[in-house]
Amino acid sequence: MDEVLPRFTGAIILSFIIAFALTILPIRAEWILYRPEWIALTFIHWGLVSPSKSSLLLAWFVGLMIDAVYGSIIGQHALGFTIVLFLTLRMRSRLLLDSFFQQLFLLCLVLGTYLLINLWILGITGNSPAGWGYWLTVLTSLIVWPFYHYFLRIFHATRKPFE
């Protein structure tokens, strides 16, 4: 997969603002377990299509903002998003990323690691969730991934072939 350049200077930041809005969007309490990990999916997308423009420092700061909004332990999501981007960048060169099933494998691995880190931190603080419903976000993120990945292509620069 060739590296894709952003369409304009703030394209990556704008995509994270959209993901942040989707993350903090209020939904019914019954549907909270089904909310995809929008910010993690955005980090995975940019880590796959444009690794040179992906920043671990940005992942850390976005995670700190999510920690502040959710009122969670400072650094919980920051650590998780940094590891999400790091694993995506490391695995990018080892997989044939044009393959849909290899992308799903990468998503399962990276999102599972992210949720496991959050579960570990929640368990240490005594706030561990009850039941298997905690892992439903991986399933919904896998379902949403093809559409969201396609949607984020509007932030990619188009290359004109030589004539």
Residue-level pLDDT at 3? 77
Q: Which amino acid is at 68?
A: A
Report domain extents, the chain: 19-155
Q: Which amino acid is at 29?
A: A
- The angle subtended at Cα 54 by Cα 51 and Cα 60, nearest 5°, is 145
Q: 3-state DSSP helix/strand/coil percent for the chain, to nearest 5?
A: 70, 0, 25
Tracing tokens 């420092």 back to the chain, one arrives at: 57
Alpha-carbon 10 to chain mean position = 18
pLDDT digits (tens, 9 = 90+) for 45-99: 999 988 888 899 999 999 999 999 999 999 999 999 999 999 999 998 888 767 8
For residue 106 the two structure tokens come to 């990468």
Whether residue 128 has pLDDT greater than 90: no
Output the CA torsion 148→45→73→61 (10° steps). -120
Per-residue pLDDT band at 36 (split at 50, 70, 90): very high
For residue 64 the two structure tokens come to 């700190």
